[in-house]
Amino acid sequence: MTVDILHLARKNIQKLEPYQSARRIGGKGEVWLNANESPTPISFFSNIKSFNRYPEFQPKKLIQLYSKYVNISEDQILITRGADEGIELLMKSFCEPGKDAIIYCPPTYDMYGINAKIFGIEIKEILMLKNSWKIDISNIISNLDKVKLIYICNPNNPTGNLIHSKDLLILLKATLGRAILVIDEAYIEFSSKNSMVNFLKEYSNLIILRTLSKAFSLAGIRCGFVLASKEIINILHKVISPYPISSLIADIACQALHDNAILDMKNRVNQININRSYLVNELKKIIFIEKIFKSHANYILVKLFHFEKVFWSLWHKGIILRNQNHKINLKRCLRISVGSDVECLRLINELKRVSKKNIL
């Protein structure tokens, strides 16, 4: 017997528009430039010989290696299933549904707002200043009532810009004792000197999110980190699941954090930054590219004339980009992940073909 059970779901979930991840959107791609992944796969061999025991709650060796990498104390680190779990855990830990609020600054990563909707937490959207993509500091500070968490992505996704440290320090000082500033540094390896990690010692209201998905070329293992004060990490220990990181994931992540592997990562980052410069220079020559926004990450935001026709023309050729047209202040924009040499050349050649054939 079939009975309608959809009405049993929470009302906010019934209305929720889920996040459309790159793989969820689909496409029959040969050149995947829509998820900001590393174009270079890396291989590992497992050192795990048996799987009959549960893994460590927080794998000690992985904590030690990441502590060395970011140069902070081991008790200031929580390992999570990607930075996404960190976003979620902070709301679980600090926000009372129906009472507290978060701030985030569109256009930015959608999961800050989606997680808040899932948990029934009020959202205050403080838009970035159009085109400059600076955060609206005065507007944020004047809207702190009920706010527990402020999410800032740096470099920002999808715009690619950096949020200046002086602006972040103004926010940290203004929110001390009132709210927590969460800086999502998923892409920070592409502009490492701009990390706020060193300020964790000074500001108890600072939390930093990190991941191995981007520069470390490990999107497939879903491993991230929350960096914060010891007191905040202890709170998160109460909320995270009992065995969040599998033995296999911990093993691979440890291998990726040894000295030689970190050197390889830095070399990959350098190559991506070179490829980004190549793409920018070549995109400037394409007649239907209206604007190229400066990027400090492994992707470029571009504004196009006839953006939809260009997007679908590339899609049908197996070159998959990320459509940003639906986002606030991003009309006619596409986000292009920086690929390998071959992928970048394929993209530029196809854009030139579209331009020359005047199929728009």
pLDDT 10s digits, 191-213: 999 999 999 999 999 999 999 99
Residue 1 has pLDDT above 70, yes or no: no
pLDDT, tens only, 319-353: 999 999 999 999 999 999 999 999 999 999 999 99
Whether 230 maps to a domain, the answer reads yes
CATH for 289: 3.90.1150.10
pLDDT, tens only, 30-59: 899 999 999 999 888 888 888 999 999 999
pTM reported for the whole predicted model: 0.94
Interior/surface letters 119-133, b for 16+ CB within 10 angstroms, e for the rest:
bbbbebebebeeeeb
- Cα–Cα distance measured from residue 6 to residue 107, given in angstroms and rounded to the nearest whole number: 32
Are 71 and 203 in the same domain?
A: yes
Please give the span between the terminal C-alpha atoms of the chain, in angstroms, as a whole number: 53
Mean pLDDT over residues 98-118, rounded?
97
Residue 84 has pLDDT above 60, yes or no: yes
Grade residue 215 by pLDDT with cuts at 50, 70 and 90. Answer: very high
Are 26 and 105 in the same domain?
A: no
Count CB neighbours of 57 within 10 A. Answer: 14
Phi then psi for residue 352, to 5 deg, are -65, -40
Are 277 and 173 in the same domain?
A: no
Are 115 and 236 in the same domain?
A: yes
Whether 55 maps to a domain, the answer reads no
For residues 332 and 325, the answer to whether their CB atoms sit within 8 Å is yes
Range of the domain at 30: 6-40+265-351
Are 218 and 94 in the same domain?
A: yes
pLDDT, tens only, 237-251: 999 999 999 999 999
Are 146 and 241 in the same domain?
A: yes
Are 184 and 73 in the same domain?
A: yes
Phi then psi for residue 147, to 5 deg, are -80, 130
Residue 222 has pLDDT above 80, yes or no: yes
Are 165 and 102 in the same domain?
A: yes
Which pLDDT score, from 0 to 100, does residue 5 have?
83
Among 230, 257, 284, which residue terminates a domain? 257
CATH for 211: 3.40.640.10
Among 231, 257, 283, which residue terminates a domain? 257
Which pLDDT score, from 0 to 100, does residue 228 have?
98
Count CB neighbours of 135 within 10 A. Answer: 25
Are 281 and 176 in the same domain?
A: no
Among 257, 279, 309, which residue terminates a domain? 257
